[in-house]
Structure 1
Amino acid sequence: MTTAPDRLLRRLEWRILRRLDGRLQGAYRTAFRGTGIDFDSLREYLPDDDVRHIDWNVTARLDQAHVRQYTEDRELTAWLVLDQSASMRFGETPQGKDSMLTDLAVCLARLFSRGGNRVGAILYDNRRQWVVPPRTGRDHVLRLTDLVTAPTPERGGGSTDLGAMLRLAARNARRRSLLFVVSDFIGEGDWAGELTRLALRHEVVAIRVVHPVELDLPDLGLVLVEDAETGEQVLADTGDPLFRERLRAEVSAREAAVDAAMARAGVAAHRVRTDEDLVEALVAMVRRTRRVRR
């Protein structure tokens, strides 16, 4: 008898991963490759080099910037840092943000584990945190799927502390790894600073999940709007032109602020809408990441 996680994984393997096999053609292996830890040699710094690899002692002695080169591992360790807070439960299935997070997490875990790479996960909510150590294999992906699809706590505990979520990731990902942070980035805490610190040690890919209504609220007349994180409710007239103009300005300001924070952190940042085709979103993500890494 197949379990719910097994049925979900089979559905995604058929609907998403089989289509990805024909689209990526190994591209994800060149975009997301392991970083070795064994020192190999030194060479002069080039403009496209990662400044984190500069050997400052040698640079000072020779008065010329030099970078360390390492033996590259064929395997990598990937971590899925998953925001399961109340704001991520916005939207009806199958186009809710939590549905997109689940599909993203399961597809990424299976995609990397099929190549023999180890995948770990951090599931974060103010009331519950799960840390799943990195392993490989389909059985491990099934366990991750079971945890991701498990019922989450009811709303409570205030706004999500995204900074704490990223600190938890930093404490558990001790070896240099590839980290996928999947969140709507709605919450409190110095998440931008923590994201920057995380990117100093790891390769970080930030995947921001958004619902179309969050970007452009339709005219629904008088509606009761509730903050998913705190439960605060406000009666809003979505047909009021002044209200809609103010809301659009706030959305634009927030989008610009989040984009700027991602750029300062130096992470590969992607925005995925819940009404997007997941295959197209993943292919675009890999292609953009390859361009950034070159």
Structure 2
Amino acid sequence: MSPDPSREGPPPLETPERLLRRLDWQVVRRLDGLLQGDHRTLFRGGGVDVADLREYVAGDDLRHLDWNVTARLDTPYVRRYLEDREVTAWLLVDHSSSMAFGRPGRTKDVVAAELALVLAQVLSRGGNPIGLMVLGDEPGVVEEVVPPAAGRRQVLRLALALRGSHRRQDAVRRPVGASVGRTDLGALLRTAAAVVRRRALVVVVSDFSSRDGWQRPLARLARRHDVVALRVRDPRERELPLAGVLHLEDAETGEQVVVDTADPVLRARLLELAEAEQATLEETARSAGVLLHTVDTDEDLVGALVRVAGLRARTRTPAGGGP
């Protein structure tokens, strides 16, 4: 649900060049210090060359089991891979209507774009090719595909594409009560599975507010690629501000309700539903072989990305055998 869209429009967007400069100063340079310059710890390639074999230990990724050796020795063994120093990355960004929720200037789609561009800047420093796919509101359609390329010019191209998508969403703001239908995140994941043929790093940035059907495409992607899921969430989706009686509207279905934000029963129920939704999403992603990371719109991006890097390092070390 979101406030009545008859409110004032969003603040003007930064130019892509200015946005990249700001993110470089505010986020990327701070990451340099905190990660001691080793950006590969943030998002490393999974590797395709086998380094050696070792006995399976609890916590290893079952996808790395060597079934031939396991059958021959009657003991489970896993492959250890050489880490890729260069990896093609694809950024899958959700810009559907539900992503427009949040306080002015820090809506979920703005934060999603910033996350994608910070990752693009980090990865481009290592010479990694980066591509982009953007999901809008048209059912089953990916509105923007930017093929992978390396370098700062490519990062600027991605910033222009994300800005263009944001402008299109603002230009087609629908009347109060109108419905655009539920986001189909599965369409974005299916497109990625069809387009991205060679093993790659795939980063999905979305609020995961979608119709059913995205779970199987996510699992399919995870079987072939190294998939990172970043859920962007606004704190007001868990706890309403104390603002009296409000008219709320679902950004995608157009459903409207009137609520008393001071009602303690309503506030407790909203929190309960939000926590249940989060637990369900985390379990669904885990079942697909993907760890879901959540970033709040009021969260410092540096702290959020360092946290993601730490979780990835801990979950990848047993199977990869790396540091």
TM-score, length-normalised on structure 2? 0.83
For the pair 1:131 / 2:138, whether they are aligned, the reply is no
- What does residue 78 of structure 2 align with? 67
Distance 1:293 1:179 in 2: 16
CA deviations on 1:117-156 (whole Å, 9 max, x unpaired) are: 1111111123252121211100000000001111133355
Secondary structure of 2:243's partner? coil
* Runs of at least 5 residues in structure 2 that lack an aligned partner in the other structure: 1-13, 318-323
CA deviations on 1:22-45 (whole Å, 9 max, x unpaired) are: 111134313422233345655544
User: Structure with the greater relative contact order (CA < 8 A, sep ≥ 6): 1 or 2?
Assistant: 2
Distance 1:71 1:244 in 2: 50
Identify the match of residue 105 of structure 2 among 94, 101, 109. 94
For the pair 1:152 / 2:168, whether they are aligned, the reply is yes
Asked if structure 2 preserves the Cα contact closer than 8 Å seen for 1:268 and 1:292, the reply is no
Residue 167 and residue 219 in structure 1: after superposition, are their counterparts in 2 closer, same or farther (change >3 A)?
same
For the pair 1:248 / 2:271, whether they are aligned, the reply is yes
Distance 1:95 1:264 in 2: 31
CA deviations on 1:150-181 (whole Å, 9 max, x unpaired) are: 11333553010112221112112211111111
- What does residue 123 of structure 2 align with? 112
Residues 1-294 of structure 1: pairs in structure 2 closer than 5 A: 4-39=15-50, 42-127=53-138, 128-150=142-164, 151-153=167-169, 154=172, 157-294=180-317
CA deviations on 1:51-91 (whole Å, 9 max, x unpaired) are: 21223234334433333454443211111110110010112
Once the two structures are TM-superposed, the CA of residue 202 in structure 1 deviates from its matched residue by 1.5
Secondary structure of 1:249's partner? helix
What count of residue pairs does the alignment treat as equivalent?
Answer: 292
Asked if structure 2 preserves the Cα contact closer than 8 Å seen for 1:79 and 1:179, the reply is yes
CA deviations on 1:89-120 (whole Å, 9 max, x unpaired) are: 11233221111111111111011011111111
- Give the alignment's Cα RMSD to 1 decimal: 2.1
Distance 1:64 1:112 in 2: 38
Between stretches 34-43 and 20-29, larger displacement belongs to 34-43
Q: Give the letter for the 2:152 counterpart.
A: R
Q: Give the letter for the 1:288 counterpart.
A: L
Residue 240 and residue 73 in structure 1: after superposition, are their counterparts in 2 closer, same or farther (change >3 A)?
closer
- What does residue 8 of structure 2 align with? none
Secondary structure of 2:105's partner? coil
Residue 239 and residue 35 in structure 1: after superposition, are their counterparts in 2 closer, same or farther (change >3 A)?
closer
Distance 2:97 2:20 in 1: 24
Once the two structures are TM-superposed, the CA of residue 47 in structure 1 deviates from its matched residue by 3.7
Distance 1:218 1:31 in 2: 34
TM-score, length-normalised on structure 1? 0.91
Moved runs in structure 1, 4+ residues, more than 6 A?
Answer: none
* Runs of at least 5 residues in structure 1 that lack an aligned partner in the other structure: none
Distance 2:54 2:241 in 1: 56
Once the two structures are TM-superposed, the CA of residue 46 in structure 1 deviates from its matched residue by 4.0
Asked if structure 2 preserves the Cα contact closer than 8 Å seen for 1:205 and 1:268, the reply is yes
Distance 1:293 1:40 in 2: 15
Residue 249 and residue 43 in structure 1: after superposition, are their counterparts in 2 closer, same or farther (change >3 A)?
closer
Asked if structure 1 preserves the Cα contact closer than 8 Å seen for 2:42 and 2:306, the reply is no
Secondary structure of 2:131's partner? strand
Q: Give the letter for the 2:161 counterpart.
A: L
Distance 1:221 1:70 in 2: 57
Asked if structure 2 preserves the Cα contact closer than 8 Å seen for 1:27 and 1:286, the reply is no
Distance 1:67 1:234 in 2: 54
Q: Give the letter for the 1:74 counterpart.
A: R
Distance 1:97 1:226 in 2: 16
